[in-house]
Structure 1
Amino acid sequence: MLTAFTGTQIREAERPLLERGLGAELMARAAHGLYRSLVAEVRRVRGGLYGARVAAVVGKGNNGGDALFALAELAARGVRTTAVLASGAAHPEGLAAFEAAGGRVEPSLGEADVVVDAVLGTGASGDYRAPFPRPGGLVVACDLPSGVDADSGTASREVWRADVTVTFGALKTGLLAGRGRALAGRVEVIDIGLAEFLPVPDVYVLEAEDVSAVLPEPHDDWQKYTRGVLGVVAGSDEYPGAAVLTTAAALATGVGMVRHVAPESVRHAVLAAHPEVVASGSAEGRVQAWAVGPGIGDDAAQQRAFDVALNSGLPLAIDASALNRIPGPALDGRAVITPHAGELARILSRLGLDVERSEVEERPVRWARLAAERLGATVLLKGPATVCAAPDGTACIQAVAHPYLATAGSGDTLTGIVGALLATTSKVRPVHVAAAAAMVHGRAGRIAAEGGPFGAGQLAAAVRKAILAFQGRVPEVPLGAAVDPLLADQ
């Protein structure tokens, strides 16, 4: 499991070392790590170092100093290095080393193979205006793209989008959430010796082995009931397809039985697609968990079935129309709700908070945590990066999805996955179940996208392949850097 920290936490972790007079050593480690990453990028775009050009836009603080020391190392390798001083001043020792190595200070950016963005670091706040338009070539951000808030991922409008972000000490929350994720590009983490001083992480990122630990392992003594039975309240005469998609995803995830509740016409559609489903018009029968909400609309009978599921005391995944019937802070930690940003804004408004969708999108971790605390439920906030927050503040961010997952019915599939995992995993925290489900859903989207654009009807087969991949029974699909950050320790 990967861990990420706020910029505030990183600065606090640095404090003991700075008080010991080790600031120069910390900067040297950061600068050398940036230098190594720049060497790799220059070689990738040019094939070699000699004669290459690397430029940097540097601020007057330590962030700019890191870049100047890194460029000094590059200059010693025959790279032509230039720097633009964004505020007319620079870190004195860094600038001296840069110029001594042959680097030149210029008034503006010229042509370069790689441009380093090193104006602002983790301590910056407020609006930021880049001194120049983003160059057309490859941009490497030093620690984080200037103007991105390391704590939240909020960003000024003019922030340069980085192709690579080389961050120091530990992964930052702001590189995973909000606009920061999209602006960071591929993320590389440079160890500068802070590990023993880091506090409890701000957020977590599940890796493949963590997902594998959540998925049920086949046992010889299984039978359909011990394998897990999921109750599904989904579909209505108006939205029958939601029931087909939700049950398909649950079956693909691996439950022993699906009990489906819906009007007769919807049950016929589900049984035509999945004859193994046990379908009826009432929420009766033995289940281990519920998945409720997709496509139920305003159907009165389905609303009553939701109430039965809610009052059952069992774990449940709540989505779509059922989100409008959440009873407030009475879910006792057993529910996973799966809103998108607009739905979460409406939920928060019902809780007395005046929140717009844009605010949720800007600070997803903050609002997911607040909703989880107020509701007593795990919040799985859907978006480019999925944020899963527990009532106690534990949060996971998963960003492995493919953009093609932005399609009608994709959320119904996710609800089926969440419900199935709740039915089959009794000893895993709901927040980790939710994060694992987001990983399975995202990986399925990646698999389905191998054939080009897809609709949600193609996801169930991809879910089955994703499950097999996480269980190590087939090769994994490589994670593309264009879709999710590559988190690589140097």
Structure 2
Amino acid sequence: METVRAAERALMARLPEGGALMQRAAAGLAAACAELLGRVYGSRVVLLVGSGDNGGDALYAGARLARRGAGVTAVLLTPERAHAGGLGALRRAGGSVAASEAAGELIGRADLVVDGIVGIGGKGGLRPEAEALADAARRSRAAVVAVDLPSGIEADTGEVRGAAVRADLTVTFGTYKPGLLIDPAREYAGVVRLVDIGLELPAEGELQALQHADVARLLPMPAGESDKYRRGVVGIAAGSARYPGAAVLAVSGALRGGAGAVRYVGPAGEAVIARFPETLVSDRGPRKAGRVQAWVVGPGAGDDVATVAEVLEADVPVLLDADGLRLAERDAVRGRTAPTLMTPHAGEAAALLGVRREEVEGARLAAVRELAAVYRATVLLKGSTTLVADAGGGAVRVNATGTSWLATAGSGDVLSGLAGSLLASGLPAVDAGSAAAYLHGLAGRFAAEGAPVGAHDVAARIPQAWRDVRAL
């Protein structure tokens, strides 16, 4: 968050004195609160105010709401350190201040609670007094709005190391903080609304979230002289006698991922051909399957160590998923000269790192970076927010286009095929993983529309997601 703080200092140096930057933030915060309330006049608003600038933002926003007829009460956690200017503005507007002992009753009767307890500098969860207020807000009927980020979460990493506020809406200023995009903290943020306060930030941050236009620029488009081989051929080494469906689903994603052809190698050839007759099927192993521009290996592969090892020896990009992650030798992955894209979920990542799954789930950003460094590979860590870390370091990409309905058997197989196809079309591993996660998430939303879906439904909606992205 030092980048954000530096940008704020630079902006404040250019602005007139008198808290102009805080006033910008407070105006955006008050507007968001008013929109959430619907009717401001007569509503009851409680401000939970800490000692930092977040508390000042809350007080100034409360003053704006009070001038519009809301009954606004500030609960000061550290009265002697409350923002003097904001407190004066609230009192002049008709707002009041209450002792923390009365907070529970006030919150119980409130229509809106504004969390201005701790800002981006907070570490290690809430202190006991603040935890009691957060718990009262959670149990109340009031909508909870967090100022910049929910108090108690780690702004830099998305970790939650103790008690934290659960917000319905987070109004953040200048830029999205990592903690608003990465689980588990993302679950605490609710809907996130960005308010532009004029910060000038570097183009390359520690975290990137691609948008439609970014993905549209990455997606391969065939030219007039293209043929199926020039567009790229992706090889799929997946499936087994026990799990033939994994092969079918991986091929279904690959066929919709932009490559010109899909070669399948493995024991599920009959099942693949029956569903997708355009697939080029071979039972002679990866080396004799024919030329490919990228391989996907592992979905449903069982204990086929030989096939995984053979694919890793190929001098083309390789995507490792599922059983491929379990069977691959670390040194074989680290020693590759062609790009490698690994696509673990939290449990697989934990096994690769030799830690408990809970450690990965609680520190996803650290885990994906460590995996990429240890294996010298690009890593796509699957989850409700997917993270993609490049082997060479740099910004981590976060994707949140998905839906919880994507947590279904075979969904990851579709993603692997899709990302492998994008690798075969020529995209670098980090771009292939990022674009695939984005499209896969959109396809999941389109397929679900609020109802359960199967992995095959998600694959069928990839063309719709592709068209949606390209429509801009």
C-alpha contact (below 8 Å) 1:333/1:391 kept by paired residues? no
Question: Which residue type is aligned with residue 204 of structure 2?
Answer: V
Question: Which residue type is aligned with residue 248 of structure 1?
Answer: S
Indicate which of 188, 191, 198 corresponds to 2:196: 191
Indicate which of 96, 101, 115 corresponds to 2:93: 101
Q: Residues 207 and 326 of structure 1: is their aligned pair in 2 closer, same or farther, counting only changes over 3 Å? A: farther
Does residue 330 of structure 2 align to residue 327 of structure 1? yes
> What's 1:220 paired with?
224
Q: Displacement of 1:318 after TM fit?
A: 0.8
> What's 1:305 paired with?
307
SS at match of 1:179: coil
Indicate which of 257, 269, 272 corresponds to 1:270: 272
> What's 1:118 paired with?
116
> What's 1:58 paired with?
49
RMSD over aligned Cα atoms? 1.9
> What's 2:32 paired with?
37
> What's 2:460 paired with?
461
SS at match of 2:2: helix
Alignment partners' CA distance in 2, 1:121 and 1:408: 39
Q: Residues 23 and 238 of structure 1: is their aligned pair in 2 closer, same or farther, counting only changes over 3 Å? A: farther
Alignment partners' CA distance in 2, 1:23 and 1:314: 60
C-alpha contact (below 8 Å) 2:316/2:338 kept by paired residues? no
Alignment partners' CA distance in 1, 2:84 and 2:161: 28
Q: Displacement of 1:150 after TM fit?
A: 0.5
Superposed CA deviations along residues 36-75 of structure 1, whole A, max 9, x for unmatched, are: 21122122xxxx3222222211112211111001111111
> What's 1:419 paired with?
420
Alignment partners' CA distance in 2, 1:219 and 1:230: 19
> What's 1:13 paired with?
7
C-alpha contact (below 8 Å) 2:343/2:416 kept by paired residues? yes
Does residue 215 of structure 2 align to residue 211 of structure 1? yes
Alignment partners' CA distance in 2, 1:396 and 1:258: 28
Alignment of 1:78-477 (within 5 A): 78-89=69-80, 90-106=82-98, 107-108=102-103, 109-110=106-107, 111-128=109-126, 129=128, 130-132=131-133, 133=135, 134=138, 135-195=140-200, 198=202, 200-263=204-267, 266-281=268-283, 282-283=285-286, 284=288, 285-299=290-304, 303-324=305-326, 325-328=328-331, 329-332=334-337, 334-349=339-354, 355-393=355-393, 394-424=395-425, 426=426, 428-450=427-449, 452-472=451-471
Q: Displacement of 1:19 after TM fit?
A: 6.4
Question: Which residue type is aligned with residue 228 of structure 2?
Answer: K
Alignment partners' CA distance in 2, 1:362 and 1:454: 28
More deviation, 205-214/436-445? 205-214
Q: Displacement of 1:326 after TM fit?
A: 4.1
Q: Residues 411 and 88 of structure 1: is their aligned pair in 2 closer, same or farther, counting only changes over 3 Å? A: same
Q: Displacement of 1:269 after TM fit?
A: 0.9
- Give the TM-score taking structure 2 as reference length: 0.91
> What's 2:20 paired with?
25
C-alpha contact (below 8 Å) 1:152/1:178 kept by paired residues? no
More deviation, 84-93/336-345? 84-93
Q: Displacement of 1:358 after TM fit?
A: 1.2
Alignment partners' CA distance in 2, 1:254 and 1:39: 46
Alignment partners' CA distance in 2, 1:412 and 1:238: 15
Q: Displacement of 1:157 after TM fit?
A: 4.3
Alignment partners' CA distance in 2, 1:414 and 1:382: 10
Q: Displacement of 1:292 after TM fit?
A: 0.7
C-alpha contact (below 8 Å) 1:177/1:363 kept by paired residues? no
C-alpha contact (below 8 Å) 1:441/1:463 kept by paired residues? yes
C-alpha contact (below 8 Å) 1:386/1:397 kept by paired residues? yes
Q: Displacement of 1:306 after TM fit?
A: 2.3
Question: Which residue type is aligned with residue 95 of structure 1?
Answer: L
Q: How many residues align?
A: 450
Alignment partners' CA distance in 1, 2:356 and 2:300: 24
Q: Residues 441 and 78 of structure 1: is their aligned pair in 2 closer, same or farther, counting only changes over 3 Å? A: same
Superposed CA deviations along residues 156-215 of structure 1, whole A, max 9, x for unmatched, are: 44322111111122110111112211111111122223215x473111011111111222
SS at match of 1:171: coil
Question: Which residue type is aligned with residue 367 of structure 1?
Answer: A
Superposed CA deviations along residues 438-458 of structure 1, whole A, max 9, x for unmatched, are: 011101110110272111122
C-alpha contact (below 8 Å) 1:9/1:199 kept by paired residues? no
Query: Whose relative contact order is higher, 1 or 2, with alpha carbons under 8 Å and at least 6 apart?
Result: 1
Q: Displacement of 1:23 after TM fit?
A: 7.3
Alignment partners' CA distance in 2, 1:49 and 1:327: 60
- Give the TM-score taking structure 1 as reference length: 0.88
C-alpha contact (below 8 Å) 1:169/1:194 kept by paired residues? yes
C-alpha contact (below 8 Å) 1:332/1:376 kept by paired residues? no
Alignment partners' CA distance in 1, 2:87 and 2:95: 9
Question: Which residue type is aligned with residue 440 of structure 2?
Answer: H
Q: Residues 399 and 306 of structure 1: is their aligned pair in 2 closer, same or farther, counting only changes over 3 Å? A: same
